[in-house]
Structure 1
Amino acid sequence: MATGSADSPATLYGPVSLALGAAALAAAVFAGLLGIAFPLLFGSLAVTFALLGLGRGLNRTQCVVGLTTGSLGLIYPVLLVAAWG
């Protein structure tokens, strides 16, 4: 790895949070079939990676989208359980 290079594992926080956020939303839509564990897991990981990426300042747009979709993936099953409980 060259000195001063922007290549590091931290550059992947944005794309990973975006992918996990999309997976959380998709799993939240099918929460009745899959259960709520998948959207909660994917959503919490997406939020974590998005916050780490925002802290590093790399791929901010992808981190914000990952944070938003991950948060929605977290909130939807919780509200679903609260409505039925």
Structure 2
Amino acid sequence: MTTRTTDSPASLYGVASLVLGLFGLAGAVFVGYVGIALPALCGALAVTFGALGLAKRLNRVQCAVGLVTGGLALAYPVFIVATFGG
């Protein structure tokens, strides 16, 4: 009787997406201090990992939350610049 493990690097898409989405969203709130690069990079990676995780159907709740927070991290600085920019 052999037991196969289901652990793979793909099982970490949800965790990576969630953590990067939260870092990106926190960076987007403080975009005046940290710049736009941190929220953009973390948000883009969170969206990518979240979409990959949802496609593989692994940790779907974490991937969905990471996808949403990553999308907000990308959209918030754009919204601020569009609203208050000249």
- Number of residues of Structure 1 aligned to a counterpart in Structure 2: 84
Q: For residues 72 and 46 of structure 2, what CA distance do their matches in structure 1 show?
A: 11
The answer on 1:39 being equivalent to 2:48 is no
Q: Any unmatched runs of 5+ in structure 2?
A: none
Q: Within 5 Å, which residues of 2 pair with 1:29-68?
A: 29-68=29-68
Task: Describe the SS at the equivalent of 1:20.
Answer: helix
Question: Structure 1 stretches (4+) deviating beyond 6 angstroms?
Answer: none
- String of CA shifts for 1:62-84, please: whole Å, max 9, x gaps: 00000010000000011111121
Among the aligned pairs, what percent are the same residue? Answer: 60
TM-score by length of 2: 0.92
CA RMSD after TM alignment: 1.3
TM-score normalised by structure 1 residue count: 0.93
1:1-85 → structure 2 map (5 Å cutoff)? 4-83=4-83, 84-85=85-86
Aligned partner of 2:76: which letter? Y
